[in-house]
Structure 1
Amino acid sequence: MVQITLLHFIYLIFILLVIVFMIFKKDTSLVCILGIFILGLVATGSVYQSMMGVFNGLAYAIKELLGTILIISIIVAMGNILEKTGVNKEMIRPFLKFIKTPDLAYWIVGLVMMVVSWFFWPSPAVALIGVILAPVAVKAGLPALAVAVSMNLFGHGIALSSDFVIQGAPKLTAGGAGIEVSEVIRASIPLTFVMGFVTTLVAFILIKRDMKKGLLEVYNLQEEEMDKEYWLSLSYRKLFAALIPIAFLLDIVIMKKYNLQGGDATALIGGTALFILMFMLLVSLKTKAIDEVVNYLIEGLQFGFKVFGPVIPIAAFFYLGDEGFLSILGEYLPKNSTGLVNDLGLALSQIVPINKVFGAAALTTVGAITGLDGSGFSGISLAGTVAKIFGTALGKGTATLTALGQQAAIWVGGGTLIPWAVIPVAAICKVSPFDLAKRNLIPVVIGLIVTTVVAMFLI
């Protein structure tokens, strides 16, 4: 029999408080820090130990997330040097000859955005794709708003919600659920395919319909000069444009051959990006590169901690639900406890008849709620924790439920439905962020419904 204590009730109350704060679009960092403190106070009976617990919780979360923060920082730093040298333009140039019709423009811009976002994350990819491909797509007859939709759905939707290469999102959700990152990735593959296919197809159909009705205006964006002054000559730009994709493709081959997953896969991608950054600086700046490497790394780290800064207190609280409790507060759980989240899941299964339909619908709802802050990442630890509760109650399906919550959270908050989250894409394409979010609404909602139904059969 599961022993439910005051610690379990407090943890559950703060989970509900986090959800309420997210519904009202309020930051949850303060709630999570207070949650850690009160759990520590009840567990230890000591104010100073509780305050130490808060600090230890933040340190534990940073330690768990440091690899993810670091690789994103390095990728962004590498993206900056690609832009300064003009190599990014040459990497995209081969695709320009294929964008001849509005239909091709929609799918090519989207697919290129997706692939680039998998390796460089959507934030750097927006500038790269938007500046070069958006004017070409508009010239081919695709309205600017439709270009923005394509970039959003394929980049901030498919690529960010799956995050197969950098693995920042599955790292967070897996941590909340207490399972391996590889389990979340495997479970997310069919959900990513269904969500991506349905959402992009529905959006394409609606765009075609409104173009025929004359509801979408086509106007030209200013096309950036492809051959302005860069740090590298054209021959060097072409050489690096060929070598960089080959380097990352070799990483994928190595991952497959040596079965590298999770942190090992992240380390390989990060190490490759770091050496590309250093080598390109050496070629372009010669001896000055010695002083510039650290500056680019600092810029990247500033970006990384800016993105993950709000996530750290939230992740710290949700790590308490599993093995993190011992590291953060100490041995204060009941002897037969398998973790706060596991205990709550088992207790729930004994009280309420949980089924696959209810579990899948609940995770999509929770994931969508966590995305309402416009981050997409701030609440996915919560989605993982709730998935573990329901998975434990069902006796199966934790990985699928975790992947489903991740999909819902990032599709809603990662840059497709929240107006202030779509601003970068909207600005590049010179459209209203509110019009873009409104245009994305029907495809994303239909996609979430279909994906939730599919998840019910996969649990």
Structure 2
Amino acid sequence: MVVITEAHIVYLIAIIVILVLMLFRKDVILPCILGILAVAIFQTKNILKSIEILYTAIFVSGRELWQVILIISLIIAMSRALDDIGADIILTKPFLRYLNTPNKSFWILGILMMLLSFFLWPSPAVGLIGAVLIAPVLKSGFDELSFASLLTIFGFGAALSGDFFIQGVPSVTAKTSRVSTSKLIISSLPIWAVTSFVTIIIFYFITMKKLKNKNNDQNNNNKNKNKKIFKESYVISIISVVFFIVDTFLMYILKIRGNAATALIGGTAVLILTASSIVQKDFLNKIREYLKSGFLSGIRTFAPIILVSAFFFLGELTTARQVIGPNAKGYLMDLGLYLSKHIPLNKYTVALMQLLVGGLTGLSGSGFSGLPLVGALAKTFSQTLNLNSAILASLGEIACIWIGGGTIIPWSVVPVTAIIKVDPDDIVKRNLLPVIIGLICGYVVTILLL
């Protein structure tokens, strides 16, 4: 029988405070820190020990997330090196001749953005596509708003919510849901596919309707004409594409999954980064600067996530004991089990809770911040109701990313508005209906799978 202690109550209060602050678009770092400290004090009754636990919680969280931070930092460093040698222009040039109508531009740009986001992540992909292709896209009949919204839907929505190759998103969720990353990805496929397909189709018809009678007199200045392209850039561009295609093929044939797949992509990124640096002057300093820039971006992105994860890792028994000691409880798991004894729970309400919690945490503007929570909740409810934890975690993960990752929260679409000068509120208004309908369809699929 589950016994609810003072520490459990404190943990629950902290979660409620965190969710309320997210709802009001406030940062949750401070309540997470105070929540860890408060739980530790009520559990150990020792202030000095609790201060030590605060540090240990952050350390354990950072250790759990380190591989995710590493791969993303290396990918960012590689993409900036490729950009500096003009590989972005070379890689997108073959598509220019086909960007002659809004309909063609929609699907070519969307699929290109999705593919690049799978391998480079959405933010670098936006920089590449937005800077290089904005002129021909506007000539084809698009406007800036439609272009910006398209990049968010295909990149920060569809691609990031899957993240099948870099696996940063599912790795974070898998840590607290205690399922393997590969199992989580496989379980998420039908939910991801339906959510993405429905959202994209609805968005397509809305966009085409908006563009139908639009006057597209645009001032198109190609800012990339003066970018220096090295003769070796063509070889490196081709090799980069080939390497990642081979990586994908090997992952499929050899069933390379999880950490091994991440390591393969990371090693490839380092090789391409090195080749892109060597062809430039002062390459010894160049490669250092690229790595520094990549890691600064990675740490800047994940520093708050480490703190948030540190708190939510206390909800899971294994990590809670690593942080507090053998007397620690799985606070969130225990609360879930307790509620299941007093509140009627079923697959419909539990899935709805995952969807709503994912959406609420996404209001912070960071799709990552809620991943530890939806993962931990999935594990709790799956044990309580004997449901598939990977499927539950997948729904919460997809909701977190689609809402907070950069589609319908104004302060989360900054990477796009920084490249394409569009009001973020306008992007959110354009994306809102397709994304909400897509997530509802994802919920229905989840119910059918449970």
> What SS does the corresponding residue of 2:363 show, helix, strand or coil?
helix
Q: Does 1:329 align with 2:324?
A: yes
User: Any residues of structure 2 matched to 1:196-275 within 5 Å, and which?
Assistant: 196-212=196-212, 214=213, 216=214, 218-220=216-218, 222-224=220-222, 227-230=225-228, 232-233=230-231, 236-275=232-271
* Contact 2:99/2:137 (<8 A) preserved: yes
> What SS does the corresponding residue of 2:3 show, helix, strand or coil?
coil
> What SS does the corresponding residue of 1:320 show, helix, strand or coil?
helix
Question: Hey, what's the Cα distance between the residues in 1 that align with 2:55 and 2:266?
Answer: 28
* Contact 2:236/2:275 (<8 A) preserved: no
Residue in structure 2 matched with residue 18 of structure 1 by the alignment: 18
Question: Hey, what's the Cα distance between the residues in 1 that align with 2:384 and 2:331?
Answer: 13
Residue in structure 2 matched with residue 307 of structure 1 by the alignment: 301
* Contact 1:376/1:410 (<8 A) preserved: yes
1:388 to 379, 382, 388: 379
Note the C-alpha offset of 1:250: 1.5
Note the C-alpha offset of 1:6: 2.7
Q: Does 1:184 align with 2:175?
A: no
Note the C-alpha offset of 1:244: 0.3
Give RMSD over aligned pairs. 1.7
1:407 to 398, 412, 434: 398
* AA at the equivalent of 2:77: A
* AA at the equivalent of 1:282: I
Question: Hey, what's the Cα distance between the residues in 2 that align with 1:254 and 1:261?
Answer: 10
Note the C-alpha offset of 1:438: 0.7
* Contact 1:345/1:388 (<8 A) preserved: no
Note the C-alpha offset of 1:231: 5.3
Question: Hey, what's the Cα distance between the residues in 1 that align with 2:431 and 2:11?
Answer: 35
Residue in structure 2 matched with residue 143 of structure 1 by the alignment: 143
Residue in structure 2 matched with residue 34 of structure 1 by the alignment: 34
* Contact 2:368/2:400 (<8 A) preserved: yes
Question: Hey, what's the Cα distance between the residues in 2 that align with 1:136 and 1:282?
Answer: 31
Question: Hey, what's the Cα distance between the residues in 2 that align with 1:358 and 1:311?
Answer: 27
* Contact 1:136/1:223 (<8 A) preserved: no
Q: Which runs of 5+ in 1 are unaligned?
A: none
Report Cα offsets for 1:150-184 as digits up to 9, x if no partner. Answer: 11100010111111111111111112222222222
* AA at the equivalent of 1:450: C
| Cα separation, partners in 2 of 1:427 and 1:32, compared to 1, 3 Å | closer
Report Cα offsets for 1:114-154 as digits up to 9, x if no partner. Answer: 11011111111111011122321221112222111211100
Question: Hey, what's the Cα distance between the residues in 2 that align with 1:217 and 1:309?
Answer: 44
Note the C-alpha offset of 1:75: 0.8
Note the C-alpha offset of 1:229: 4.1
Question: Hey, what's the Cα distance between the residues in 2 that align with 1:330 and 1:263?
Answer: 27
Report Cα offsets for 1:350-397 as digits up to 9, x if no partner. Answer: 222211111121111111110111111122211222222322222112
Q: Which runs of 5+ in 2 are unaligned?
A: none
Percent identity reads 39
Report Cα offsets for 1:250-296 as digits up to 9, x if no partner. Answer: 212222333322222111111110111112212333xx322322221
Q: How many residues align?
A: 449
Question: Hey, what's the Cα distance between the residues in 2 that align with 1:327 and 1:403?
Answer: 26
Question: Hey, what's the Cα distance between the residues in 2 that align with 1:317 and 1:178?
Answer: 16
Question: Hey, what's the Cα distance between the residues in 2 that align with 1:302 and 1:390?
Answer: 37
Note the C-alpha offset of 1:91: 1.0
* AA at the equivalent of 2:187: A
Deviation beyond 4 Å, 4+ runs, structure 1 = none
User: Any residues of structure 2 matched to 1:96-175 within 5 Å, and which?
Assistant: 96-175=96-175
Question: Hey, what's the Cα distance between the residues in 1 that align with 2:303 and 2:345?
Answer: 35
* Contact 2:141/2:211 (<8 A) preserved: no
User: Any residues of structure 2 matched to 1:279-294 within 5 Å, and which?
Assistant: 279-285=275-281, 288-294=282-288
Residue in structure 2 matched with residue 439 of structure 1 by the alignment: 430
Report Cα offsets for 1:46-93 as digits up to 9, x if no partner. Answer: 111111111011111111111111111111111111111001111111
* Contact 1:341/1:388 (<8 A) preserved: no
Question: Hey, what's the Cα distance between the residues in 1 that align with 2:16 and 2:383?
Answer: 19
| Cα separation, partners in 2 of 1:217 and 1:319, compared to 1, 3 Å | farther
Report Cα offsets for 1:408-440 as digits up to 9, x if no partner. Answer: 111111111111222332343332211111111
User: Structure 1 length normalisation: TM-score?
Assistant: 0.94
